[in-house]
Every structure is written in C-alpha cells, then in structure tokens.
Structure 1
Amino acid sequence: MYCVQCEQSNKGGCAAKIGSCGKTAQVAELQDVLLRVLQGVSVYADRAAAKSARDAMVDAFTPHAWFTTLTNVNFDDTRFVPLIARALSMRERARLLAEAAGADLSALPEPALWNPGTTPSELAAAAPFAAIQRFVDRDGPSIVGLRNLILYGLKGTAAYGEHARVLGFEEDAISAEFHRIAAFLATDPTDVDALLGHALAIGALNLKVMELLDAANTGRFGHPEPTAVRMTPRAGKCLLVSGHDMGDLEAILQQTEGTGIHVYTHGELLAANAYPGLKKYPHLAGNYGGAWQDQQRDFDAFPGAIVMTSNCLINPNLKGYSGRIFTAGPVGWKGLPHLVDHDFAPAVACALAQPGFAEDAPEQTITIGFARNTVMGVADTLLGMIGKGEVKNLFLIGGCDGARPGRNYFHDLAMATPKDSLVLTLGCGKFRFNREDLGAINGIPRVLDIGQCNDAYSAIRIATAVAEALNVGVNDLPLHYAISWFEQKATAVLLTMLHLGLRRIHLGPTLPQFLTPEVLGILIAKFDIRRTGDAHDDLAHMLEAA
C-alpha cells in the first residue's frame, strides 16, 4: 500500500498494511484501479465532446465514482469491486459514443485500453499497474507529485460537483472540462508547465463548481441568514447527521417529522442550521459535537442514531456505536448498513430504539450564517468601517481540520488577531475557535462564520466585491489567509485561490506527502505559498505586509 493523498500520510506514504485513516491496502489498491479506469472513461468522453457528443449517464457517474476515493469516505472493498465493473461499462459506453460521433480514437493512452478484470483476484493482480509507486519509480516523485496535485484537485472538484448534482444542478460545460483535464492526466504527462497549467485549470473549474453548488444550496434552501445555533442537546430521542449533504439532511428532517426525534447536525453540517429551508423544521435541534476528528468521542457519547452523508468517516469499530451508525451516498465501511434512495427509515427506527437524552443541557449557542448574501447586504456598513479605520484587517482562517499536532495554531492565530479586525471562517477548521468570544465591532461579530468548505465561494465573492468597491486588487487588501490543510477538497479550494491570483497564503500545519520539496518549491516561487509557523510570528508578518 502506498498512499500520499492527505495529511494523514507520512514518512513517504502510509503503512504497508493499513493507513492512518483505517483504509486497508486492499481498498487502497481498488481505489487506484478505479481512478485509472475513470481516467480512461474521460479520454473517450473528452474525444466525444470534441464532436459535440455527450452522455448524461457517463457524466453523472463520473463525480460520484471519484468522490468515493476521497480521504475518509469509503473503506468498503465490497463496494469497489462492482464500482470498477460499472466504470468499465461506462468506459465502453463513452467509447461507443465517441466512435458513433466520428471522434479520433487513435493514439489512446493506457487508461483507455487497460483491462484490469472484474473479479477480486483479477483486480488484485492488476493493482500494481495502477499503483502510485509504479509511477514514482518510473517518473520520479516530483513529476508524480504534480500529477497528484491534479488528481487530488479533481477529486475535490468531483466531490463538490456531486453535492450539487444530487440536488439537481449539473452543467454540461463543467462535465466536459472535468473530462478534458482527467484525459490529460491519463497521458501520464511529464511537462512541468503543462502540469501546472492544468492544475490552475482545475482551480478555474472548481470555482464554477462551487458557484453551482452555491446556487443548488441557496436555490433549494434559501440564503443562509445569521442564526444563533444551539450547541447543547435537548431531552428526547435523537438522530445525528454528519458530513456535508444538505439534501440528505432535508430528507431526514422530513422523515422524522412527528416522531418526537430531535435531529442534530455534526461537523460541517453545522452550516445547515442557517438555511431557512432547513431551520424551518422545529425538530432541527441544533449542532452536537465538533469537527470530524472528534467524531469517535462525539458519536460514542451520542445516545441515538447516526448517519454519515459524506466525508469524513473514522473507524466506528473502535468505540461502541457501530450498531447505530449508517452510511449514505458515497460513504462506506464494511459491515455498516448503507442507506440508498434517501430512505432513512432504518436510521429513524434505530433512533426511536435508543434512549436519547434524559434532560436538557444548559443552553449554549453560537452565531453562524454570514455567507455572501448576508455580508454583501451590509457591504456599505463594512466599507464604511474600513474607510474610517474601524476595521483595519480581514483574516480568512479556516479549512479542513485534523487530529495531528500543531492545529492549535489556528486557534492561537484567531485569538491573537487585533480587535480592529474581522475573522472570516469556513470549513471544520473553525471549530478550533468558534466558541471563543472575540467581541464585535459596531455590532458586527468579529468572527463571521461563512459556512462549509465549499463556501470558500462566498469568501471569494466577498473579497472581490470589497476590492472592487475600494478600487484595488484583491492582493492589495489587508486580507490575510491561514488555511488549514487536510484532504482533497482543500486541494481544490487551494487551486481555486491560486487560479484567482491570491498570494501570501499560509498553509499548514502539515502538508500531504505528495507535495515533495520540489513541488512545494514551485508553489512557493510561483504563488508565494507560505508554511505556517509560530502563530504570533506569522501574525506579525501578515500585519507588516498590510
């Protein structure tokens, strides 16, 4: 097993038998095979697109299949075997489409022709041909590192695209561009400039995907609005929903109406409590627990049923809740019941069978819901505060949290920011400091929770609008970035920031193994990426730059 895709990988890749995340070598190998076949799917889809031909079934399958390979999503080898078989059938479907359209099918790269088989034994024998280590040995770690920057950026973009797709939002142009970049990757490119160019193309694509997801979420549930969310439980039966999928949360709220079950969000679903179309359900009781890495403690203490709708899942067998946790969508763990077609009846029945909370806990709340529509609604006030010097700096502090040492950096940085500054935050990284009281400026909270990691789109819209109003470039704003790195959605967001030309991004605390010293050096030279260090030293440098 050789896996370098996230911060949990270290020392040249994960252990030989099992990853830090709990992924087995068998699952890692099947994911490698699936990704290689999916690149072949995109080769044919891209050539068909050149002749204005597309297939909605291929386009719908692609982001879901890529999503299953993200960190902490699907650990179930029995799900990957049929998924690979379906990918092979989709590749053939795309091939026939391209052939019928009169596309050029010459000089096809290996992933378009490779046949790994469909049985577990055939796939095990084929796995070395798709393994990352094969390409490292052949082409060197830096070239493969740049390819992985594209591969993992595509994974993150696919995840956001799948979140939008399940809400009914798709765009042909987005699918076509995804296939184009994946088809480029299928050629095993070695040109550094071409690799960097395609990495930035993913950034541009991911911006469009996040815009689409924003439209999907706000179109279905309304624009987030400032909301005081209860962070402590109420007495009664309970069901906890974790992940990112608001469509699943809506279905669960609908299917628990009148049952007496209180529904709680966990992790990045905290943001759902600010959407009018979701918070209208009176039994959406608030949020329970913190970021994803705390789930084993949170889930074990939660006296009800649990549903995982997307990343990030941690081994449920190490604690006592494996009998009351369910997976949905791309998520899987061997032995856990998997719910399909938005039918959450088993989870509802489980919640009713559990004891629930015996009494109300003392009420504690935090205020969320400062997405672009809210902030732009007070843009004149904000600009006035900047013009008067009442707000001198803006900090974007957030991203993907994790369990490794050093992540208190983001708490320490937020706490140290000057009192005449605002802190924009998103992703699960905000749980490091979102219960702290940093005060307010003229009635505006200093900490503005924008939402989920994909709500980086809101942050970008806010920053560009402020820059335009002040008639300066975004990099001329007193806006500082401290991004908590972890997995592939973070890769996609980072590439979007680089595509937009944002500079001086502090990134850390630990970078994934695929960012070799050479690759990191390229990013530092071209984009002024900065490693996080001491929070107070970094803050001093940020304020000097302003």
Structure 2
Amino acid sequence: MSENLKMFCHQCEMSAPDGCGAHGQSKGTCGKDDTLARLQDTMVFGLKGLSAYRHHAHELGADTSEVDRVIADTLYFTLTNSNFNFNEHIKQLLAVGSAGVKVMDILSEAHTKTFGVPTPVKVSQNKVEGRAILVSGHNLKALKMLLEQTEGKGINIYTHSEMLPAHGYPELRKYSHLKGNVGKAWFDQTKLFNEFKGAILMSTNCIVPLRNSCEYKDRLFGYQIAGTEGVTMIENDDFTPLIECALACGDVSMHSDLSLTTGGHYKTILTLAPQILDAINSGKIRRFFVIAGCDAPGKGREYYRELAENLPQDCVILTSSCGKFRFNDIDFGVVPGTNLPRYIDLGQCNDSNGAVKIALALSEATGIAINDLPVSIVLMWMEQKAVIILLALFSLGVKNINVGPTLPKFFNEEIVNFLVENFGVRLISGDAKADLAYFLNGHKDVA
C-alpha cells in the first residue's frame, strides 16, 4: 500500500513559503518544513469549503458564529512563524473538520426550515419546453428568488449539476414552472451550454472559463462570487436581465424521455428506520455503499459507475455531490423483498452529513460501532471544497475511507502515511470488481 502511495508526493498546488518546496530540501529559510506547509495548505482549502457552506447558511438567517470563530482561529494559525508542531497542526485540522460537521448541520437545518424536508421525486432529464432558464450551482435561495420573479412570465426553470436536489424540496417544487434537470456534472457545461439555447444562471462555484468555442457568452449570467470574464453579473438579486434574455431566446425546446431520482434527504430516510433495521436483521440488506464526491473529466472515473453497476441486489447506494452523475441514470430498483430503494440521493455536497446521520442512527440502533457497520465509503476526489468533507469525516473518527482515482496533490508521503496508519485511508485500485470483492469481504483482502 505505501509503495503505491509514494507516487502521490507531488509538488504542492499552492505556493509554499520561500524555500519550502516539496523536493530538494526539507526545510526552507522560514524554518517551516514541507509537511507543515502542506498541512497548512490543507487547512486553507478546508476553510474554502467551510466558508462556502457558511455563506449559504448565513444568508438564510442561521447563526454561524461558532463556525466563524474556527475560520478566524485557523487563519491565525497559518501565520508563517506561528507553529512548528505536527501534532498541533493535526489538532487544528480536526477542529476545522468539526466545524465542517457543524456547518453542514446548520445549513441542512436552514434548508429544511426554509424549503421543507425533501422527499423522493422523479425528475425529467434533458427535456426542455418553451422559453427556459438553466440554473447551475448550489444556491437554493437564489433559485427560490428566481422562481418568484419568473412566476407567470411563461418561462420554465431547469436545474443543472449540484442544483438537481432542489426538486426534492416542497417549497421549491410547488412552483409549477420548475420543470426538470438538464445535463450532468459541472464539467459538461461548455458542450451543454452550447446545446441549450436558453438563458443560464451560475449561482455558485464550478463555472468553467469561456472558450473560443463558447456560443453562450451573451446568455450566461453570474451571481455573487460566480462569474467569468465577459459575462453579465446579477446585481441586488434583480434577475430582470436574465429574464429578458430568456424571453428573447424564444422557444428552446429539447426532447428526451430520460428521468432521474432525487430527494432522499436523511430526515426522510430516517423515517424508514424500522424497515431498514428489519431488512438488515433479516439479511435482505447486506451492505451500504457511500459512493459520492466531486466528479471531473479524465480517465479513471468510470470505476465508480462500474462499481455501482456491479453491486449485488442486497446492497444500497447512498450518494451526494456531483459524483452521482456517473451512475444516477441507472434504475437500481428496490431491495428484493422490501420497498426500500437501492439508490438514495442525499442531495448536494453540503448534504454529505446525511450519510453520517444515517450511520450514527444505525450504530445507535444496532449497538455496532460506526467503523464496524456494514458500510463502505468510496469517494471520488477533485475539488478543493471537498477537503472540508474529508476533514469532517476524520473529526468524527470515521475510518477506512476509500479515495480515488488519485489522492489530493497537496498531501505528501508523510501525510499520507499518517492518514493510512491513523484513519485507514485507502486508494482505490482502479479495478472496480476486485475492490468490490474487498468491500463485500468486510474490507479484507480476498484470498
């Protein structure tokens, strides 16, 4: 295992202090060695995700003061000449992780208080009718305001990527002109936005810079921090320019018979606890697989679809984030002998706390320690914001997390070895069927 992990000792993606490069010398003129510099980079990346979730919760009126203190304290910790102790760096990273758990709980409560508790719903995929606006990102409040401002104007609203789970919320779903979903994960947008001929709103991060081949520049609108050179920004929550663009685009219909399922919020799933426990005790459910994370282009990620496709019928998939688009077009049906779905979309990346809530409830009901539950966590790595989810899991003591197709490039061998020894972090093999045998054998190699 350690030999396989050595290949991930790459140059850090962020600039370290002078003389603190990953190779050639262990310490720089500032006295801070490469490992500590990388741990501080990890803190900063974690704070990016923490700040994103904090932003959404705060604008919905939630009290984020506890999280705000961690953000300030951690930035203070990263002063160049502040701390040179490895264990204290780990302690601060886990504090960031604990704040991540807190902020995801706060945001989840703010979402359900404002928009209701999501319930499962089937959503049309790639079917567009009449005049239309496509909304990408994570900001449910922005979507709600847009739905209000477009009501009665003859414009249909569609979601893209991380906005798909919006369809599960009753206070959003009640708008009849919230119609369906178009496209998959964030990185398909250049091709997709060329094909979709209506107006487009980017509500948060994951925007791709415009290329020469982009035909949608005049139809793309940014919101708050989300923008790129040459696009119109929405000001003061007034979506009039976006609405006028949609009206000017006319009928942009697209035809499709596809559909996706979303709306499996943990609060809804926990109402099924008696049926789930009965299915576990009777052997109808053998194992849960948390297959989630941030999707990206490139080789290696077909692994996640192959893994999902080959799961036995007595296994259940829990997913969130945009990684689900690797396999959410598959009809997984129900667990044989039950009415329980085999595929549960918990929501956006900030809804990753749902899998933990379900695991904790199972642990309490069964008396089995959380790390001994029949649960396999298989994450796909990509985006900086995902660091906060990984740190959150570590802060809860969750072990045996499988990550791929690569590990974060800002980890070096010393950090990786620490995570392997203390948290059982494992790099996926790239062979989905071989790994499946490993997972089904209780995370033990098959002889």
Partner of 2:5: none
Q: 1:132 is matched with which residue: 16, 19, 35? A: 16
CA–CA distance in structure 2, aligned partners of residues 308 and 424 of structure 1: 27
Partner of 1:320: 215
CA gap of 1:188–1:320, structure 2 versus 1, over 3 A, is: farther
**What is the CA–CA distance in structure 1 between the aligned matches of 2:58 and 2:139, rounded to whole Å?**
11
Letter matched to residue 166 of structure 1: E
- 1:259/1:436 Cα in 2 relative to 1: closer, same or farther (>3 Å)? same
Distance change >3 Å, CA 499–CA 178, structure 1 → 2? same
Contact 1:394/1:480, CA 8 A, preserved across alignment: yes
| Structure 1 match to 2:224 | 329
Q: Structure 1 counterpart of 2:63, which letter? A: E
Match of 1:148 in 2: 41
**Alignment correspondent of 1:12:** 11
**Structure 2: how far apart are the matches of 1:188 and 1:435?**
49
Counterpart residue number, 2:105 = 211
SS at match of 1:514: coil
Partners of 1:500 and 1:507 in 2: how far apart?
Answer: 17
- Retained in 2: the 8 A contact 1:135–1:144? no
Equivalent in the alignment of 1:311: 205
Change beyond 3 A, Cα 1:232–1:145: same
| SS of the residue 2:399 aligns to | coil
Which digits, 9 at most, give the CA deviation of each residue in 1:450-490, with x for residues without a partner? 11111111111111001110011111100000011112221
Residue 170 of structure 1, CA deviation: 2.5
Alignment partner, residue 178 of structure 1 = 71
CA distance in structure 1 between the aligned counterparts of 2:423 and 2:117, rounded to whole angstroms: 33
Paired residues for 1:32-431 under 5 Å: 131-132=15-16, 134=18, 136-137=20-21, 138=28, 139-186=32-79, 187-318=81-212, 319-358=214-253, 361-431=255-325
Measured after TM superposition, the shift of residue 266 of structure 1 is 0.3
Within a 5 Å distance, the mapping from 1:504-523 to structure 2 comes to 504-523=400-419
Greater mean deviation of Cα atoms: 241-250 or 431-440: 431-440
Residue by residue over 1:396-421, the C-alpha shift from the partner in whole angstroms, topping out at 9 and shown as x without a partner, is 00111111211111111111111101
Alignment CA distance shift 1:135-1:321 (3 Å): farther
Indicate conservation of the 8 Å contact 1:400/1:484, yes or no: yes
CA contact (8 A) 1:233 1:357 kept: no
Q: How far apart, CA to CA, are the structure 1 residues paired with 2:299 and 2:225?
A: 29
Code of the residue aligned with 1:528 in structure 2: it is G
Give the whole-Å Cα distance in 2 for the aligned partners of 1:140 and 1:343: 49
Partner Cα separation in structure 2 for residue 380 and residue 302 of structure 1: 44
Deviations 1:65-106 (A, max 9, x none): xxxxxxxxxxxxxxxxxxxxxxxxxxxxxxxxxxxxxxxxxx
| Native 8 Å contact 1:164 1:216 kept in 2 | yes
Which residue in the other structure is 2:389 paired with? 493
1:37 aligned partner: none
Q: Which runs of 5+ in 1 are unaligned?
A: 1-8, 15-31, 33-130
The AA in structure 2 aligned to 1:132 is A
1:543 equivalent to 2:440? Answer: yes
SS of the residue aligned with 2:403?
A: strand
Distance 1:305 1:543, change over 3 A: same
State the one-letter code of the partner of 1:516.
N
Relative to structure 2, which stretch is displaced further, 372-381 or 536-545?
Answer: 536-545
1:262 corresponds to which letter in structure 2? N
Q: 1:11 to 1:502 in 2, by over 3 A?
A: closer
- Corresponding residue pairs, total: 422
Query: What TM-score do you get using the length of structure 2 for normalisation?
Result: 0.91
Cα deviation, residue 335, structure 1: 1.9
Partner of residue 25, structure 2: none
Question: 3-state DSSP class of the match of 2:346?
Answer: strand
Q: Residues 294 and 322 of structure 2 are in contact (CA less than 8 Å); yes or no, is this contact kept in structure 1? A: yes
Tell me how far 1:311 sits from its aligned partner.
1.3
2:367 matched residue in structure 1: 471
Deviations 1:422-457 (A, max 9, x none): 000110000000001222112222111111111111
Gaps of 5+ in 2: 1-7, 22-27
In structure 2, the residue matched to 1:125 is none
Q: 1:10–1:512: 8 Å Cα contact kept in structure 2?
A: no
Superposed CA offset, 1:163-211 (max 9, x none) = 1112121332221222122211225532111111111111101100001
SS of the aligned residue for 1:440 comes to: coil
CA shift, 1:298, in A, is: 1.1
Q: Which residue of 2 aligns with 1:66?
A: none
Looking at structure 1, the residues matched to 439 and 19 of structure 2 have their Cα atoms a distance apart, in angstroms, of 39
SS of aligned partner of 2:118:
coil
Tell me if structure 2 keeps the 8 A contact 1:267–1:289: yes
Alpha-carbon offset, residue 140 of structure 1: 3.6
- SS of structure 2 residue aligned to 1:503: coil
Distance change (3 Å), C-alpha of 1:334 and 1:362: closer
RMSD: 1.7
User: CA deviation digits over 1:102-150, x for unaligned, max 9?
Assistant: xxxxxxxxxxxxxxxxxxxxxxxxxxxxx43536242343221111111
> Percent same amino acid at aligned positions?
36
Counterpart amino acid of 2:260? I
Contact preservation (8 Å) 2:288, 2:375? yes
CA contact (8 A) 2:132 2:199 kept: yes
1:230 shift after superposition: 1.1
- Give the Cα–Cα distance (whole angstroms) in 2 for the partners of residues 384 and 290 of structure 1: 35
More helix by share: 1
Between the aligned partners of 1:228 and 1:495, the Cα distance in structure 2 is 32
